Amino acid sequence: MIDFSVKKPIKYALYLGSYLMVIGGLNVIASNLSEAASRHHNSPEASTTINSQSMGDDFSTSDASLSEESKIIAIINGELLTERDVNNREKLFELTAGLHLSPEVMKNIRPQLIKQLVNERLRTQEMLRRHINIAPEQIADAIADIEKRNNMPPNALRDRLSADGVSLNTLIDQIRLQLGWGQVIQQQLGEQSHITAQEVVQRQNALKREVGQTEFLVNEIFVPVENARHPEQELKFTETIIQQLRNGAPFPIVAAQFSQSQSALQGGSLGWVQEDNLDPEVVNVAKKMPIGAVSNPIQVAGGYIIATIGGRRTIGNEMGTLVNIRQVYLPFSSKLDPHNPTQQQVATLNQANKLRTTLHNCADVESANQKAGSGRPSDPGIIQLERLNPEMASLLKGLQIGQLSKPLVSTEGISLIMICSQEKKNLADISASEIANQLLNQRVEQTAQQLERDLHRQAIIQWRNKK
């Protein structure tokens, strides 16, 4: 009997999933999204607006003819926000978070969802005013990135939306908005969107003075507070979201759904951030909280932050080992039962063992992976050993350059890994381009907050069935 034990190998393969998962079928997604986007723009529901000036505030004659889902919650500059819109967003969050949320949780989330949808309407209207359009291919790439960040198979979001009765337009609209809003901010910044060499040098000099201090790998969700004197609703929402994160909801998906900072499209990721670039309250928490934990609500100017810390390091000094690897992935045709493997699974293991004697360099590995169907990319990118699961790091450390690993068995298939090169590097060295990105991100965040305040101040928002 062939041993299909998946004790340690499954940990290896599943951990590498976040690095090795291929997101294929982008052309298919792009085609489908293009079709859906076209239908959306041409549908009466997508373009329905009401002239609030002519209607005034009296909607009493409309209730009898409206279905429950068509009931109007608000009219934002003449554009409807309905029960259907809110219900679809609720379903989208529950689906993408991978959790079954109780009615009580949904009740706590709903007011913030409504506020967010109002904000999105204002942003979308500003995009239209500026004639900003987002290509379907960009939306497809964004969906693929969400799937990749959360180790989902290709097309998983689209298929699950369809199965759960959630309109694909709900997801398309949200991503289109996030991408388009970035262009709005870029236009708003104008010449300020360019960071000068002098600004970079000034920041480099400041960092030299900070050598020896700690910097943090930060992910955030920002929840703005409308009325600083009465933040109860937003605090309750923040506490609800934290509980869902601690119950297993993926941080990047929750951030993409709810965070009101510009980092939302990156799943809340801020990258490595120095203390002087963080709110003092966030710094206090970041110094104490365990790596990977989800913080309690952190009150900052303008709202609350939920943070996770992915790592800490000393500015100017963090030696790390970077490895460049290649892999062959041999998929199973069905999910593996270790106690009762199928003939195809036995043949796949035999194939993997045979490859160990025939693959001698990384070019051979790439070719073999292509012949196997490229179910996962042969080149997952540069990986830092110190950031890996200890078992996986130990496995890679035990390999010589050009040596193929033993078969790594998961329930989905078998991987073989080869190290092509490795180097020791001071990872705390921050390049000029990274500094420029940090400075630009700060400027973008400030501009976005100011523009949103202006849009709200100028908007005509008429509430109807707000809950």
Q: What was the pLDDT predicted at 74?
A: 93
213 touches 68 (CB < 8 A): no
Q: Across residues 25-40, what is the average pLDDT?
A: 34
Residue 79 — very low, low, confident or very high, per pLDDT cuts 50/70/90? Answer: very high
Nearest to 259 by CA among 119, 434, 75: 119
> What does DSSP say about strands 319-331 and 413-426: parallel, antiparallel, or unpaired?
antiparallel
How far apart (Å, rounded) are the C-alpha atoms in residues 270 and 204?
Answer: 19
> Domain spans of the chain?
7-17+320-426, 26-187
Tell me: pLDDT of 44 over 50: no
Nearest to 173 by CA among 68, 33, 73: 33
Tell me: pLDDT of 284 over 90: yes
Q: What was the pLDDT predicted at 314?
A: 81
Tell me: pLDDT of 125 over 80: yes
Element (H, E) at 123: helix 103-129
Q: What are phi and psi of 403, to 5 degrees?
A: -95, 135
How far apart (Å, rounded) are the C-alpha atoms in residues 12 and 200?
Answer: 41
Residue 354 — very low, low, confident or very high, per pLDDT cuts 50/70/90? Answer: very high
How far apart (Å, rounded) are the C-alpha atoms in residues 418 and 401?
Answer: 7
Torsion angle defined by CA atoms of residues 120, 122, 123 and 126, in that order, rounded to the nearest 10 degrees = 160
Diameter over CA atoms, the chain: 79
Of 152-156, 431-435, 449-453, the poorest mean pLDDT is in 152-156
Cα atoms in the 13 Å half-sphere on the side-chain side of 398: 10
Torsion angle defined by CA atoms of residues 29, 30, 31 and 36, in that order, rounded to the nearest 10 degrees = 90
How far apart (Å, rounded) are the C-alpha atoms in residues 140 and 36?
Answer: 12
393 touches 170 (CB < 8 A): no
How far apart (Å, rounded) are the C-alpha atoms in residues 447 and 220?
Answer: 18
For residue 230, give the amino acid letter.
H
Q: Is 23 exposed, middle or buried (0-12, 13-18, 19+ CB in 10 A)?
A: buried
How far apart (Å, rounded) are the C-alpha atoms in residues 381 and 323?
Answer: 9
Helix and strand totals (H; E) in the chain: 17, 11
Tell me: pLDDT of 165 over 80: no
Q: What was the pLDDT predicted at 210?
A: 77
Of 35-49, 283-297, 386-400, 425-439, the range with the highest mean pLDDT is: 283-297
Tell me: pLDDT of 65 over 50: no
- 142 or 427: which carries more pLDDT confidence? 142
How far CA 307 is from CA of 223, 259, 284, 302, in Å, comes to 11, 11, 12, 16
Q: For 145-163, how does the pLDDT look when each residue is reduced to its tens digit (9 = 90+)?
A: 767 665 567 777 777 777 7
How far apart (Å, rounded) are the C-alpha atoms in residues 374 and 22?
Answer: 8
**Could you write out the DSSP letters of every residue in 412-428?**
SEEEEEEEEEEEEEETT
Q: What is the pTM of this model?
A: 0.56
Give the distance, in angstroms, between the CA of residue 10 and the centroid of all CA atoms in the same chain.
25
User: Domain 7-17+320-426 is of which CATH architecture?
Assistant: Roll (3.10)
Residue showing tokens 């593996």: 336
The fold of 26-187 is Triger factor/SurA peptide-binding fold (1.10.4030)
Nearest to 348 by CA among 412, 405, 402, 418: 412
Strand, coil or helix: what is 319?
strand
Tell me 462's DSSP state: E
Q: Across residues 310-318, what is the average pLDDT?
A: 79
